């Protein structure tokens, strides 16, 4: 691997240092955080991107996927859904309630999990990690229970309208958000 050249301080630092010199006296030269950063290793030109993505999927009580080789993972991020494939740019994303779709082989072997929230980490070495609050296989969700949950939380919001209990209102709004995402994922 080639080594990236050390970045020099921006011109604004140089201008500040030049103005500071007359008043410096016996003080040591100014230090910048970039003086202590090791340069990042840059892959050689033409380095191969792996054919498969290494995928880890964790919830607090178990490991759903552990270093599984997959073709693509679709993630419901708060900034918009995105797909992670081998060679994807490093990314950190907060998850919104939605479906994580794991393609072991594109358009052949697909697994879908509903997650109410969490984080996704896409590393530069073609490793993607999803750390979710919880995960449910989409096939395990009961459409009738989802409809009932959405109706309950919607009614709770209507009952709390104009009342001063902010905590209960926030909980009801979170419930509507999660159940709406479940209903959308199930197409109900």
pLDDT tens per residue across span 14-38: 777 777 777 777 777 767 676 777 7
Residue pair 102/84 in contact by the 8 Å Cβ criterion: no
Q: Considering only CA atoms, which of 114, 175, 176 is closest in space to residue 142?
A: 114
Q: Which residue has the higher pLDDT, 162 or 58?
A: 58
Q: Which residue has the higher pLDDT, 16 or 144?
A: 144
The arrangement of secondary structure in 53-139, i.e. its CATH architecture, is Sandwich (2.60)
Alpha carbon separation from 133 to 59, 114, 117, 168, 188 (Å, rounded): 6, 10, 6, 21, 23
Q: What pLDDT shows up at residue 125?
A: 86
Residue recorded with tokens 């970045």: 7
Q: How confident is the model at residue 1 (pLDDT cuts 50, 70, 90)?
A: very low
Alpha carbon separation from 44 to 3, 41, 49, 51 (Å, rounded): 9, 9, 11, 18
Instruction: Give the separation between CA 120 and CA 56, rounded to whole angstroms.
Output: 10
Instruction: Answer whether residue 139 shows pLDDT above 50.
Output: yes
Q: How confident is the model at residue 42 (pLDDT cuts 50, 70, 90)?
A: low
| pTM for the structure as a whole | 0.68
The share of the chain scoring above pLDDT 90, in percent, equals 34
pLDDT tens, position by position, 104-137: 887 788 899 999 999 999 998 889 999 999 999 9
């Amino acid at each position: 691997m080639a080594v990236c050249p050390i970045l020099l301080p921006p011109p604004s630092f140089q201008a500040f240092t030049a103005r500071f010199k007359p008043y410096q006296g016996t003080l040591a030269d100014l230090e910048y955080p970039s003086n202590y950063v090791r340069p990042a290793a840059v892959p050689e030109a033409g380095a191969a991107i792996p054919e498969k993505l290494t995928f880890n999927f964790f919830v607090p009580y178990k490991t759903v996927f552990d270093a599984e080789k997959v073709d693509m993972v679709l993630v419901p991020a708060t900034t918009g859904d995105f797909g992670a494939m081998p060679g994807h740019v490093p990314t950190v994303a907060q998850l919104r309630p939605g479906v994580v779709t794991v393609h072991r082989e594109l358009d052949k072997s697909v697994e879908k999990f509903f997650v109410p929230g969490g984080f996704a980490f896409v590393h530069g070495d073609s490793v993607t990690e999803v750390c979710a609050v919880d995960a449910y296989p989409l096939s395990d969700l009961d459409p009738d229970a989802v409809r009932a949950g959405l109706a309950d939380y919607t009614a709770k919001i209507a009952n709390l309208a104009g009342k001063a209990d902010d905590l209960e209102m926030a909980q009801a709004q979170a419930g509507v958000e999660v159940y709406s995402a479940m209903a959308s994922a199930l197409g109900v």
